[in-house]
Chains A and B, each alone.
Chain A
Amino acid sequence: MQLAVLSGFVLAAFAPLLQRWCAARTSLVLALYPAALALWLLTQLPAVMGGEVLVFSLEWVPSLGMSLTFVLDGLSMLFALLITVIGTFVLIYAGGYLKGHPDLVRFHVVIVAFMVSMLGLVLADGLMTLFVFWELTSITSYLLIGFNHTDLEARKSARQGLFVTVGGGLALMAGLVMLAIAGDSWSLQELLSSGDVLRDHALYLPMLLCLLGGAFTKSAQFPFHFWLPNAMAAPTPVSAYLHSATMVKAGIYLLARLHPGLGGTEAWIGILSVVGALTMFTGAFLALRHTNIKKLLAYSTIMALGTLTMLLGIGTEGALIAFVTFLLAHSLYKGALFMIAGILDHETGTKDVTAMGGLRRLMPVTALVACIAALSLAGVPPLFGFIGKELMFESVLEAGSFRAIIFLLSFSAAIFTIAVAAIVVLRPFFGERRETPKAAHEAPSAMLAGPVGLAILSLLFGLVPVLAGTGLLTAAASAVAGESLSVSLSLWHGINLPLIMSLISLALGYLLFRHWDRVRGNLSRLDPLFAHGPEAGYENLMDGIVRISEWQTRVLQNGYMRNYIMVMVVVLIALVGNSLLLRHAPAFAISFDVQFHEAVVTGLMVAGALFACISRSRLGAVASVGIMGFCIALTFILFSAPDLGITQLLVETLTVILLILVLFRLPRFASLSTPLERVRDLVVAGSMGVLIMLLILTVVASNQFVPVSGYMIENSVPLAHGRNIVNVILVDYRALDTLGEIFVLALAAIGVIAMLKLRAPKPEAKGAGKGQGAKESADG
């Protein structure tokens, strides 16, 4: 199972090769992959419908208790089937839509990778597996939205989608970690079967808010809904797949998945049903402002996502059945409608519904399919959408809390949606014939296969609800509920309140459609209001981040060397000083076991350093640093480190010679700083000195660990055959370090020679072109 799914990534990697072998038929060949997976899923369907949960386990990081486990229950099955079936249609469709596109290869690679990510997401059992696939869908969808990367608008939209969903992803990760802490497991199955443990945990609310942050951004819930319509910059097959049927439903999937463990509390019901209803209303209402067919559909997708969230929030048995039904219905009709929008765009050259008209004679099949899908969207019998809508109304009526608000919002959303459905199909296909930028004709069969297939399913499930109802949807609803439910769908519920609501909304929706042009005109007066919407908030946030980073670059990365040093030193003093003085009780062992000659050497050493600081002559400074170095060598020798003493002597001699050689080519000491700056630097340097002193005293007083060198001392002669233990360490125990050291010295030497050999440009060359001369010498 894992192999079957993950092999998709391999397939994606080989897509460019396939393109070479199969040329124009690549899309069809690639479509075999989701089709095969769908068939395999169908063979598992009887077991899943029987209430079985199929587990495919594979060890991943056993030491961390993580495994790459896939679980196939009703909910996963429903999603996996939607992903593979619609994926098959979309790939076939894309072969027609993007025919001859120079970047078709890239499209294939990314969309197959996306498909696999999405499958992994809905099948994953481990929280981290889920998270990895979740982020993969964000990244692949970024690449897909920005497919037309030469278009500024597409890039901007892609970035917006990425920021919103990945920002939510961060919240999700925090939520998942809390979930694992609360439930003490990384496996979804174990977590969800733990009863009320999660609901009663102290972390419940923060955990829920973080998880909802992830789900709401991904599923474009209010106020994060703005990225979805912008994502319509993607090619239409992408919109049909990602932004109707799959990716945006990832958030919904997560909510449904977590419902048995987290759902049913006051916070869950309150947040989900109100946010869902608000999203539903916002989506349907904002749709009416647009004439671009893809935007119309995108906003109606937001409406549907809101509906699904709201139903999960209500959470009654009826609501959960409505949830799975609506989910299936929406994926079927929205996929079809988006593909039809693509056909219209492809064949007529415009996306503006007001610019099209009377196309039904030219494109009869498309028109018929569009009618079926739109009727399902509007919720007209005998289509599957009607069943979904009836169940939705029923659940709204039985909602426990916030019933009035939810009812009002969802009823008006239903009216707007019906108007949208009418606009999408009646405007382009009926009415008088209008001239379009391209001469319209029927779409090629590759592009029709998808919409036709999906529309047939809509009609079939509507006419014979048993086909979808008893089996798959029961299993899915049971998985969401966490207990066994029985679903029996029927087209005719008798004359009841939901039916009356349907009829009223149909009438009002049609009325709204008739007066759409006028309504849209009036709505445009509200435009200034939308300038302050959530999207403006997003823009302000982004600008703010840029301003903050500009500010901090200006302050911290200002190019002044001493500022960098100052910042580092001050931070070091603050951090180390804090833990030294406040968190570690200072205990110093002050002993004055000092012999006279040692004190003299140390005093000379310090005097050398101090004189180097105050000397006004360069030679004096170098000489006094040399004195300090020789005193250090003496200290090494006095305290049992003869090798160090010898090395220090050698190096100090070389250093002084080097400095003297170079010194007279260097500038004289200049007095550049003001007294105030000196005082400030003295304070900083002095604090650093005090800190280091305290640090050494503390370290010496608290000798906590046994030295690790015991082994080296013992084995120096028996194993390494050397009597000088320091040398043995350098050339034997830590030989690789010494090798590295040699490399560093060699590199430094090469650098020194290179810089000394390169001649500076002559003054007259500089006069001609100062910048150029320096550049040439640097290149040379």
Chain B
Amino acid sequence: MEPLMALAIGLLYATAIYMMLRRSIVKLVIGLMLLSNAANLLIFTSAGMTRGAPPLIPEGALAPAGQVADPLPQALVLTAIVIAFGVLAFAVVLIRRAYEIVKADDLDKMKDTDT
């Protein structure tokens, strides 16, 4: 599964960077979303992918039965997903606000702070 995921993540990164290089501010937001998702998948995949063995411990046992997926990358990605949402919400509102004031949808026209 990992080679297929590698290809998919590579494509996600490519789309994310491409969108972030656009001048239209909405495309920047889309690029940001793609990038954070791609990065989460990158961490998740790098640790190796395991089918059907979640890191849970059954009732009454002290340790999981058999080999389970590595929980640490999962914890990291979980934090990252939430933080990425926070950043995205902030960025979207910031851009909306900037657009209201500057009335420019072109990032290149946002060079001045004195509008």
**Chain A residues close to B by CB (< 8 Å):** 559-562, 565-566, 569, 588, 590-594, 598-599, 602, 605-606, 609-610, 612-613, 618, 621-622, 625, 628-629, 632, 635-636, 638-644, 647-648, 651, 654-655, 658-659, 662-663, 665-670, 672-673, 681-682, 684-686, 688-693, 696-697, 699-700, 703, 707-709, 712-714, 716-718, 723-726, 729-730, 734, 737-738, 741, 744-745, 748-749, 751-752, 755-756, 758, 760-761, 770-771, 774-775, 777
Contact = CB atoms under 8 A, between A and B. Distances in A.
Contact of A655 (B1, B5, B85): B85
Given A613-B18, A640-B50, A667-B26, 17 more contacts: A599-B4, A606-B12, A612-B15, A625-B30, A639-B49, A640-B53, A643-B78, A651-B81, A659-B92, A672-B22, A672-B23, A673-B22, A700-B48, A709-B70, A709-B71, A744-B86, A771-B115
Interface in B66-87: 68-72, 74-75, 77-79, 81-87
Q: Is the interface of B mostly helix, strand, loop or mixed?
A: helix
B68 to A, nearest CB: 7
Interface string B16-60: 111111111111111001100110111011111111111111110
A610 B82 CA distance: 24
Contacts of A602: 4-5, 8
B8 A734 contact: no
A729 B72 contact: yes
A561 B62 CA distance: 52
A643 B55 CA distance: 10
A602 B5 CA distance: 7
17 contacts: A632-B40, A638-B51, A639-B50, A651-B81, A662-B96, A682-B18, A685-B16, A690-B10, A696-B42, A697-B3, A697-B6, A703-B48, A726-B75, A726-B78, A729-B71, A751-B93, A752-B93
Interface residues of B, number: 93
- Most chain A CB atoms below 10 A, which of B1, B44, B99: B1
Contacts of A737: 79
A760 B98 CA distance: 10
Contacts of B92: 658-659, 662
A565 B23 CA distance: 12
Q: Is the interface of A mostly helix, strand, loop or mixed?
A: helix
Given A644-B44, A713-B71, A752 B15 contact: no
Given A566-B21, A709-B70, A725-B56, A700 B46 contact: yes
B106 A693 contact: no
Contacts of B38: 692
Contacts of A588: 3
B103 to A, nearest CB: 9
Contact of A684 (B17, B19, B44, B96): B17
B8 A569 contact: no
Nearest to A756: B93
B63 A717 contact: yes
A758 B71 contact: no
Given A640-B50, A666-B25, A696-B46, A593 B1 contact: yes
A641 B74 contact: yes
A652 to B, nearest CB: 9
Nearest to B3: A590
B9 A692 contact: yes
B42 A565 contact: no
A387 B44 CA distance: 81
Contact of A692 (B4, B10, B53): B10
B53 to A, nearest CB: 5
A381 to B, nearest CB: 74
> 3 smallest A-B Cβ distances: which pairs?
A689-B14, A693-B10, A667-B105
A774 B115 CA distance: 7
A744 B83 contact: yes
Contacts of A639: 1, 44, 49-51, 69
Given A667-B25, A693-B10, A756-B93, A612 B30 contact: yes
A473 to B, nearest CB: 67
B106 A672 contact: yes
Contacts of B83: 741, 744-745
